[in-house]
Amino acid sequence: MIAPAVLARHVKTGLRLLVYASAFLILIGPHRLSLRRRGRFAGLAPMLLHRLFLALFQVRVRVTGTPPAPGEAALVLANHISWLDIPVLGALRPLSFVAKSEVAGWPVIGLMAKLQRTVFIDRARKRHTAVVNTELSRRLAVGEVVVLFAEGTTGDGNRLLPFRTSLVGAARAALTEGGLDAVRLQPLCIAYTRRHGMPLTRRERPEIAWYGDMELAPHLAVFLERGPIDVEVVWAEPVTFAAGTDRKVATALAEAAVRRALQQAVTGRVPSGTAPPLPAGVPEAALGQPA
């Protein structure tokens, strides 16, 4: 026999999912029409759904820093911890993501990704990076914001993995093909810091992270059961990408900015002035000046 408290929790979860599903069905028609006509609602509908999801499931987001101005071309280089990153970042403003091609075939998540105008990359095809960079440059040229999870995978929420530089080539393509003078490379840090108002410990934080070979369904069940989560989102100091900018240097600057922000969010302490090591071949002087 199911305990009354457990039954009540299941009923609440079911009602929240029903509300979310109803909103999705209401918005899906106008959203698809707006996608075909390239209307403004195509960007607003996913943002509204993400905000509803966060409100229903008590995910509280605190945002600091200065985001790109409306209409400013920005390639966002973010860390990646969980599937929850998508609604957290998607709720901030109209934007799109870059994801591996396998995501397109996932149930529900694949559909949501397509409606978000996600750019899918086939990692098994080396030449596909150039195709994706061309599409990203087109979006940047018209002033869109595109989020690239620069680690290339998810982490445990306690540390940052090295940023990959290949898709940052989209910024250069936006200069040469899109006619832009410069592109804003925007470092962005996401950190899960509290549950039920209590600070998450280093051991607890991976319970929210979805990484490695974790199954999605059990992870979702834990998310629905454990209750409110607090998230810190930090728009770090942007890096200007212009003609002559070294892609590795620019990526290293963004990685260092996200690393500092993550360290501060996780430990609650402002990092020391000692900069993290740069990738091989990148000069130390790069950290002291914009790219």
Tell me whether residue 76 is in a domain: yes
Query: pTM for the whole thing?
Result: 0.87
pLDDT at 287: 40
**Integer angstrom CA distances of residue 92 from 65, 138, 236:** 13, 22, 15
Tell me whether residue 230 is in a domain: yes
CA dihedral 61, 66, 67, 73 (to 10 degrees): -170
Number of folded domains in the chain?
1
Tell me whether residue 72 is in a domain: yes
Tell me whether residue 4 is in a domain: no
Tell me whether residue 117 is in a domain: yes
Q: CA triplet 27, 92, 160: central angle to 5 degrees?
A: 125
**Containing structural domain, residue 95:** 59-288
Tell me whether residue 162 is in a domain: yes
Tell me whether residue 49 is in a domain: no
Q: What is the CATH number of the domain that holds 72?
A: 3.40.1130
* Residue appearing with tokens 């250069």: 172
pLDDT tens digits, the chain, 291 residues: what are they? 677 777 788 788 889 999 999 999 999 888 888 888 877 778 889 999 999 999 999 999 999 999 999 888 899 999 999 999 999 999 999 999 998 888 888 877 788 888 888 999 887 777 888 888 888 888 998 889 999 999 988 888 888 999 998 888 888 888 888 788 899 999 999 999 999 889 988 888 888 888 887 887 888 888 887 779 999 999 999 999 998 899 999 999 999 999 999 999 988 777 765 454 454 444 444 443 433
From its phi and psi, is residue 74 left (phi > 0), alpha (psi between -120 and 50) or beta? beta
Tell me whether residue 16 is in a domain: no
